[in-house]
Chain A
Amino acid sequence: GGVTVPRAGLKKYVLPPDYSGITFPERTKLKFMEKVPAVPKVKRETRQLRDIRGPSHEATEFTQGQYGILALGGGYLHWGHFEMIRLTIGRSMDPKTMFAIWRVPAPYKPVTRKSLGHRMGGGKGPIDHYVTAVKSGRLVVEVGGRCEFGEVKPFLTQVAKKLPFPAIPVSRDGLQQMRQEEEEKKLNNQNPWTFERVVTANMLGMRKYLSPYDLRLKGRYWGKFYLKHRV
């Protein structure tokens, strides 16, 4: 053959995305979350930090929306965080084509604070404010509608950075891919010694230095932190 001069070939037209299966809720914007629940708690509660520890078992999958903010660590969200999320997302999204829904409840857990400058003792302090507990792996908000991930990602990252725990914006595909990668890592790990194996068999008496919760957490969680790089 002769000398090929590169030139444009046949244009492949990309079909526009199909938004057929999307149902919009009645209110597209995030609803206002109360600072204090309607029936404020009379009895002060114990700290119960176990509601931060470990992986989440609720709100881990997408329901209505296509994109969301995934928590990669545990923490408490108080009313300031809720307002920040509501206002930022409300400002950046288009209510006609997109909608957003909460995946966390309004603050319900009372947190007590003693007044400043007093010594220890004198009983438990009064209730200062209410918070919601969030475990790692939970979705905080979900966004959906006739929009692409690229449109939604900027303001979701903006919100995710301001949360008290590490968080990332994800789409349905992204989350699925993350889970798949995790599974693959587990399968193709070349290290014959895994935390799970050591703990369940109590090799070298390691359980003396580990918590009984480590049987469940398997070395991927430490306190409220989620260790992403461990298998």
Chain B
Amino acid sequence: ATAANMAALSGGGGAPWRRGWLPALQFVRRGSKAVTRHWKAMHFQRQKLMAVTEYLAPRPAIPPRCLTPRKGRVEEEDNGYARLLRRQVEEVFRDNRMIAVCQYNSMPGEDVVLMRHYLRKHNIEVKFVLNEIVRPVLSQSKYKNLLPLFVARNILLVSPELKAKEMLRVLKGVPQINLLGACIDNTILSRQGVENLAKLPSLEVSQGQTVGALALLPSQTSSLLQRGSAYLTALLDEHIRQLQARETGSPAEPAPAQSSG
């Protein structure tokens, strides 16, 4: 600063220098102290420096407004409760032979209890399931084709035995529950399939029918073998009847003795 001032003094400038005016050598000494209660006015050069060295935020090439926000990934916290429910669903699918998926519309509580009671009598359990738990379990097991059924509220009717007819009868009495589909003995059936299954006769009746069908042929063997002699007997009987008819036209002939022979 001093060198510049010396140069200015010797170089010559204008009227102030002729009057013997010296510039303020120390800018700092004028005015108030460094720390003031009010906002101390900054030197203009300092103001310019502050303006130049301001923070510039980074601008991404694509503004975030134009990008569709990625849906935040569902937290895979895997709390123990969800794990327990998933395990229960797996057990259900393993242990029971018949699993029917029904749509559940809201029912009065007592009706639910009644329906459960009736189904329990036939050893059918009613299970309420949450889609968000069942879907991952099914997608990883062999029941992938049941996935489209698990949409909106639904319940599972599970049973170790096949009692389709009783189940359908109970469900007919409850209008709020609609059967969507079933997985019976590892076969996926639609609603029609379940109804057909129910229309089938029971196991004992069908067993009896098969036995009857099988026994039909051997029962016919004896009649087949006897058919020749039976035909001959029939022909002779017919012949005798014709002779009798002719002889009764001419009266009193002892024909029975001949017919018995």
Question: Chain B: interface secondary structure?
Answer: loop
How many angstroms between the C-alpha atoms of A49 and B36 in the bound complex? 9
The 0/1 profile, CB within 8 Å of B marked 1, for residues 42-53 of chain A is 000000011011
How many angstroms between the C-alpha atoms of A50 and B13 in the bound complex? 41
List B contacts of A193 (CB < 8 A): 52-53
How many angstroms between the C-alpha atoms of A206 and B46 in the bound complex? 8
Closest CB-CB distance, B35 to chain A, in whole Å? 4
Is B110 in the interface zone, CB < 8 Å from A? Answer: no
Pair B27/A191 contact, Cβ less than 8 Å: no
In the complex, chain A residues 168-206 whose Cβ is within 8 Å of any chain B Cβ: 185, 188-191, 193-195, 198, 206
Question: Which among B56, B133, B153 has the highest number of chain A CB atoms within 10 Å?
Answer: B56
List A contacts of B35 (CB < 8 A): 49-50, 52-53, 74, 223-224
Pair B34/A53 contact, Cβ less than 8 Å: yes
Pair A230/B39 contact, Cβ less than 8 Å: no
Name the 8 nearest CB pairs between A and B, nearest first.
Answer: A49-B35, A190-B56, A231-B55, A191-B56, A209-B45, A195-B53, A209-B43, A5-B152
Is A118 in the interface zone, CB < 8 Å from B? Answer: no
Closest CB-CB distance, B188 to chain A, in whole Å? 17
A206-B49, A223-B39 as given contacts; A230 in contact with B27, CB under 8 Å: no
A190-B58, A219-B50 as given contacts; A9 in contact with B130, CB under 8 Å: yes
A10-B133, A13-B79, A13-B81 as given contacts; A188 in contact with B42, CB under 8 Å: no
Closest CB-CB distance, A218 to chain B, in whole Å? 10
Closest CB-CB distance, A178 to chain B, in whole Å? 15
Pair A191/B49 contact, Cβ less than 8 Å: no
Closest CB-CB distance, B52 to chain A, in whole Å? 6
Q: Which residue of A lies closest to B52 (CB)?
A: A193
Question: Which among A3, A10, A190 has the highest number of chain B CB atoms within 10 Å?
Answer: A10
Pair A1/B151 contact, Cβ less than 8 Å: yes
A49-B35, A208-B1 as given contacts; A3 in contact with B55, CB under 8 Å: no
How many angstroms between the C-alpha atoms of A74 and B36 in the bound complex? 11
Q: Which residue of B lies closest to A12 (CB)?
A: B79
Q: Count chain B residues whose beta carbon lies closer than 8 angstroms to a beta carbon of A.
A: 37
Q: Which residue of A lies closest to B58 (CB)?
A: A188
Pair B34/A213 contact, Cβ less than 8 Å: yes
Q: Which residue of B lies closest to A75 (CB)?
A: B37
Is A117 in the interface zone, CB < 8 Å from B? Answer: no
How many angstroms between the C-alpha atoms of A53 and B36 in the bound complex? 10
Is B28 in the interface zone, CB < 8 Å from A? Answer: yes
List A contacts of B49 (CB < 8 A): 195, 198, 206, 209-210, 219
Is B82 in the interface zone, CB < 8 Å from A? Answer: yes
Which residue of B28, B40, B79 is within 8 Å of A223 (Cβ)? B40
Is A222 in the interface zone, CB < 8 Å from B? Answer: yes
Q: Which residue of A lies closest to B45 (CB)?
A: A209
List A contacts of B34 (CB < 8 A): 49, 53, 211, 213, 223
Residues on A close to B: CB < 8 A?
Answer: 1-5, 7, 9-10, 12-13, 49-50, 52-53, 74, 185, 188-191, 193-195, 198, 206, 208-211, 213, 219, 222-225, 229-231
Pair A222/B40 contact, Cβ less than 8 Å: yes
List A contacts of B130 (CB < 8 A): 9-10
Pair B132/A191 contact, Cβ less than 8 Å: no
The 0/1 profile, CB within 8 Å of A marked 1, for residues 11-54 of chain B is 00000000000000001100001111101101101100110111
List A contacts of B39 (CB < 8 A): 222-223, 225
Q: Which residue of B lies closest to A53 (CB)?
A: B35
Closest CB-CB distance, B59 to chain A, in whole Å? 8
Closest CB-CB distance, B4 to chain A, in whole Å? 9
A–B complex contacts, Cβ < 8 Å, 8 sampled: A5-B152, A5-B153, A50-B35, A190-B57, A206-B49, A208-B27, A211-B34, A224-B36
Closest CB-CB distance, A11 to chain B, in whole Å? 9
Is B148 in the interface zone, CB < 8 Å from A? Answer: yes
Closest CB-CB distance, B45 to chain A, in whole Å? 4
List A contacts of B76 (CB < 8 A): none
Closest CB-CB distance, B130 to chain A, in whole Å? 5
Q: Which residue of B lies closest to A185 (CB)?
A: B55
List A contacts of B46 (CB < 8 A): 206, 209-210
Pair B77/A12 contact, Cβ less than 8 Å: yes
Q: Which residue of A lies closest to B59 (CB)?
A: A190
Closest CB-CB distance, B156 to chain A, in whole Å? 16
10 further A-B pairs in the complex, CB-CB below 8 A; given A5-B152, A210-B49: A3-B151, A7-B153, A188-B57, A195-B53, A206-B45, A222-B39, A224-B36, A224-B37, A225-B39, A230-B55
